[in-house]
Amino acid sequence: MSLNLFNLTGRRALITGSSQGIGLALARGLCSAGAEVVLNGRCAERLRAASDSLGGARYRTFDVTDHLAVRQAVDEFEAEVGPIDILVNNAGLQYRSPLANFPPDKFDLLLQTNVASVFHVGQAVARHMIRRASGKIINIASVQTALARPGIAPYTATKGAVGNLTKGMATDWAPFGLQCNAIAPGYFQTELNAALLADNTFCGWLERRTPAGRWGRVEELVGACIFLASEASSFVNGHVIYVDGGITASL
């Protein structure tokens, strides 16, 4: 009976930025727990390929930084297909540069993609969830929600904002039956970290710095996502769950 708490059969999940990497891995994971997934991204070709890899999952192409486009896409989907029970705000990007010379346009891009998108999609979906008095919102934060490294200060700022926006969502929307939490990945083998994966010096440092002694695999984020998407987390709200091999637990 306890395993039924993690069963997502009959639930529908929208995952932003899910044509590859962490988003696609989470989509596969939620599918394995019984959920129907809806993929999202800006590139229709990549979305079609991701959809095919999941046996023909639904997908919607829209820009998560465009408030009106998000609102329209979500409202149309709810009207034409049905409710979105679970939202995973995964879309994000990285840009590395020393802070003294960080390009202002890249700073704005990080803010729009990593923070504003969480607000845009979260608000659009939550409005429907609130009417149903039920819903799960999972924001993808980062180990940089709590820690900083040289060269990524603006990214660190955006992920800190995601952590606090998650708490704000929980505070505002828990009275309406929503659970809003975040997953904060450590260092995972993804396209976003391709430059770091190719850097032997960095890899050596990371393996020494992380108690688990290795990079994470994207599949290792699935358990936390299923937990937060399911009835197993019915009284969990406003938390940031670090899945990082222990890096935030040690000096």
Q: Nearest to residue 53, comparing CAs of 23, 8, 92, 80?
A: 23
Q: Rounded distance, CA 202 to CA 214, Å?
A: 12
- The answer to whether residue 155 is catalytic is yes
For 10, counting Cβ atoms within 10 Å of its Cβ (0-12 exposed, 13-18 middle, 19+ buried), the class is: exposed
| Structure token pair of residue 90 | 């995964």
Using CB atoms within 10 Å of the CB of residue 1, give its burial: 0 to 12 exposed, 13 to 18 middle, 19+ buried. exposed
Among 59, 95, 155, 187, which one carries the catalytic annotation?
155
Distance in angstroms between the alpha carbons of the first and the last residue of the chain: 40
CB atoms within 10 A of CB 58: 16
Q: Encoding tokens for residue 136? A: 């799960």
Active site positions, annotated = 155
